[in-house]
């Protein structure tokens, strides 16, 4: 999610959807060719370019597809992608439509699903696409999911976007159990909160420090972290080639990825992660560069 003040929209049209009393109000706003999903606040929980509904609009959401750097393109359509938190359905639609993967999303709020189907072009369930209405923390403990997921995307924030809803070592261990041997989890850590260090520590307990990679934060303050079930190294010329391949094959903007994507296990990466943390602190103080 990112911050979007509604007053900045030139031609926004808000659409509100009734929801259960204990869940936030779901609303939609349009700003030119971009449609945004909100949960009762101006915080953006997802977006879609109306003319290109199956592309990924937000930069950090594109980075959530960073697992593709490690994937054999020919094998991607045979893989299984899972998202914890549907948002506006961007990752779910991209995996289903563009990557041709078996795709599962787990979403707590039934009105989010209804809005995605009505306003964000989310296709109906099929043999290749399933949206499960459930509490992600409970659902992923079911044995039938264990060892079945190749690409797990975790973007679980409440309507205030203060910190991840699920962010414990136990939760990340459950996520690890979902993954195949070569499976990768991507997590959005939002810079508004100072929980980055804690979140990284919790993931390290579940995956090990040598399995963690990170992008530098976007200008909006979103930092995407990758956690591998089986640690693999991708650096230098090999990383450059992988970035070019992902951009050419799937039209994701990976131009800067090689400069801002580092493994968290070695000293060089550690110093880079220190810069990541420093940048997040600057964002929290309202500073940008």
Closest Cα to residue 85, out of 169, 148, 1?
Answer: 1
Res. 25 pLDDT band, cuts 50 70 90: confident
Q: Is the dihedral of CA 204, 210, 211, 213 positive or negative?
A: positive
Residue 19 has pLDDT above 80, yes or no: no
Residue 3 clears pLDDT 50, i.e. is over it: no
CB of 28 closer than 8 Å to CB of 88: no
Q: Which range, of 5-14, 41-50, 131-140, averages the lowest pLDDT? A: 5-14
Burial zone of 140 (CB within 10 Å; 0-12 exposed, 13-18 middle, 19+ buried):
buried
DSSP string spanning 37-68?
A: EEESSSEEEEEEETTBTTS--SHHHHHTTGGG
Domain range annotation of the chain: 67-284
Closest Cα partner for 166 from 206, 136, 204, 195?
A: 136
pLDDT tens readout for residues 269-279: 444 455 555 55
Residue in the structure block whose two tokens are 């924030």: 157
Q: Which two tokens stand for residue 106?
A: 């787990």
Q: How far apart are CA 286 and CA 211, in angstroms?
A: 31
pLDDT of residue 264: 62
CB 149 within 8 A of CB 82: yes
Residue matched to tokens 């690890």: 176
pLDDT at site 276 = 54
Is the confidence at residue 13, as pLDDT, over 50?
Answer: no
**pLDDT digit string (tens) for 242-253?**
999 999 999 999
Closest CA to 271 of 283, 262, 282, 258: 262
Q: Provide CB contacts within 8 A for 150, sequence distance 6+.
A: 67, 71, 79, 80, 81, 101, 179, 180, 182, 183, 184
Determine the Cα–Cα distance for residues 64 and 153; give it in Å rounded to an integer.
7
Architecture of domain 67-284 in CATH? 3-Layer(aba) Sandwich (3.40)
The runs of H, that is alpha helices, within 120-157 are 136-139
* 106, β-bridge pairs: 84, 132
Cα separation of 118 and 99, whole Å?
A: 23
Instruction: Tell me the C-alpha distance between 63 and 261, whole Å.
Output: 10
Q: Does residue 280 sit in helix, strand or coil? A: helix
């Amino acid at each position: 999610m990112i911050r979007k003040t509604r007053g900045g929209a030139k031609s926004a049209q808000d659409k509100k959807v009734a929801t259960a009393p204990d869940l936030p109000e779901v609303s939609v706003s349009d700003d030119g060719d971009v449609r945004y999903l909100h949960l009762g606040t101006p915080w953006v929980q997802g977006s879609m370019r109306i003319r290109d509904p199956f592309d990924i609009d937000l930069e950090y959401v594109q980075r959530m597809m960073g697992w593709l750097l490690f994937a054999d393109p020919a094998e991607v359509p045979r893989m299984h992608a899972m998202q914890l938190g549907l948002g506006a359905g961007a990752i779910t639609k991209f995996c289903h439509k563009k990557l041709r993967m078996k795709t599962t999303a787990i979403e707590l709020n039934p009105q989010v699903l209804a809005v995605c189907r009505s306003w964000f072009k989310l296709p109906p369930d099929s043999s290749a696409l399933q949206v499960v209405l459930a509490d992600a923390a409970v659902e992923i403990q079911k044995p039938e999911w264990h060892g079945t997921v190749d690409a797990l995307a975790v973007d679980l924030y409440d309507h205030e976007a203060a910190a991840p809803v699920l962010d414990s070592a136990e939760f990340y261990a459950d996520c690890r159990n979902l993954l195949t041997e070569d499976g990768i989890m991507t997590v959005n850590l939002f810079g508004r909160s100072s929980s980055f260090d804690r979140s990284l520590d919790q993931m390290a307990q579940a995956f090990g420090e040598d399995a963690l990679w990170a992008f530098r934060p976007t200008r909006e303050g979103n930092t995407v972290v990758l956690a591998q079930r089986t640690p693999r190294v991708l650096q230098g010329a090999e990383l450059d080639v992988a970035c070019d391949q992902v951009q050419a094959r799937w039209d994701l903007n990976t131009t800067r990825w090689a400069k801002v994507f580092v493994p968290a296990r070695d000293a060089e990466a550690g110093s880079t992660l220190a810069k990541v943390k420093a940048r997040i602190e600057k964002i929290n103080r309202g500073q940008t560069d």
